[in-house]
Amino acid sequence: MFRYLTAGESHGPALVGILDGLPAHVRIDAERVDATLALRQGGYGRGARMKIESDRVEFLAGVRGGETLGSTVAVIVRNRDFENNRTLMDPMTGSGPALTNPRPGHADYAGALKYRQRDLRNVLERASARETAMRVCLGAICAQFLEELGVTTRSYVSRIGSVAAPELDAWDEQDVERSYVRCPHPETERAMIAAIDAAKAAGDTLGGSFVVRVDGVPAGIGSNRQPNQRLDGVLAGALMGMQTVKAVEIGAGSDVARLPGSQAHDIFAYDASAGARGKVVRPSNRAGGIEGGMSNGEAIVVRVSVKPIPTLMKAAPSVNLHSGSAAPATIVRSDVCVVPAAAIVGEAMVRLALTGPMLEKFGGDSLAETLDNLRRSVAAAGDLFS
Long-range contacts of 272-280 (CB under 8 A, 24+ apart): 277/385, 277/386
Predicted local distance difference test score (pLDDT) of residue 56: 96
pTM score: 0.95
Residue type, 41: Q
How many other CB atoms sit within 10 Å of the CB of residue 365?
Answer: 11
Domain 3-251+287-383: CATH superfamily, name plus number = Chorismate synthase AroC (3.60.150.10)
Whether the CB-CB separation of 214 and 376 falls below 8 Å is answered with no
Structure confidence by residue, pLDDT tens digits, 107-121: 999 999 999 999 999
- DSSP assignments along 241-276, one per residue: TSTTEEEEEETTGGGGGGS-HHHHS---EEETTSSS
Cβ-in-10-Å burial (0-12, 13-18, 19+) of 30 comes to: middle
Sequential pLDDT tens for the chain (386 residues): 899 999 999 999 999 999 999 999 999 999 999 999 999 998 887 665 555 668 999 999 999 999 999 999 999 999 999 999 999 999 999 999 999 999 999 999 999 999 999 999 999 999 999 999 999 999 999 999 999 999 999 999 999 999 999 988 889 999 999 999 999 999 999 999 999 999 999 989 999 999 999 999 999 999 999 999 999 999 999 999 999 999 999 999 999 999 999 999 999 999 888 766 678 899 999 999 999 999 999 999 999 999 998 888 888 899 999 999 999 998 876 789 999 999 999 999 999 999 999 999 999 999 999 999 999 999 998 878 86
Q: What angle do CA 257, 263, 269 make, to 5 degrees?
A: 140
* The predicted structure's pLDDT at residue 184: 96
**15 - beta bridge partners?**
77
Burial of 378 (0-12, 13-18, 19+ CB in 10 A): middle
Instruction: Determine the Cα–Cα distance for residues 159 and 186; give it in Å rounded to an integer.
Output: 13
d(CA 350, CA 239) in angstroms, rounded, equals: 7
Are the beta carbons of 42 and 384 closer than 8 angstroms? no
Which residues are CB-neighbours of 92 under 8 A, at least 6 positions away? none
pLDDT of 316: 87
The three-class DSSP label of residue 85 is coil
* C-alpha radius of gyration, the chain, whole number: 22
Phi, psi of 5 (to 5 degrees): -140, 150
Going by C-beta distance under 8 Å and a sequence separation of 6 or more, which residues neighbour residue 107?
123, 124, 127
Q: What is the dihedral of CA 137, 138, 141, 146, to 10 degrees?
A: -130
Which helix (H) or strand (E) covers residue 291, if one does? strand 290-291
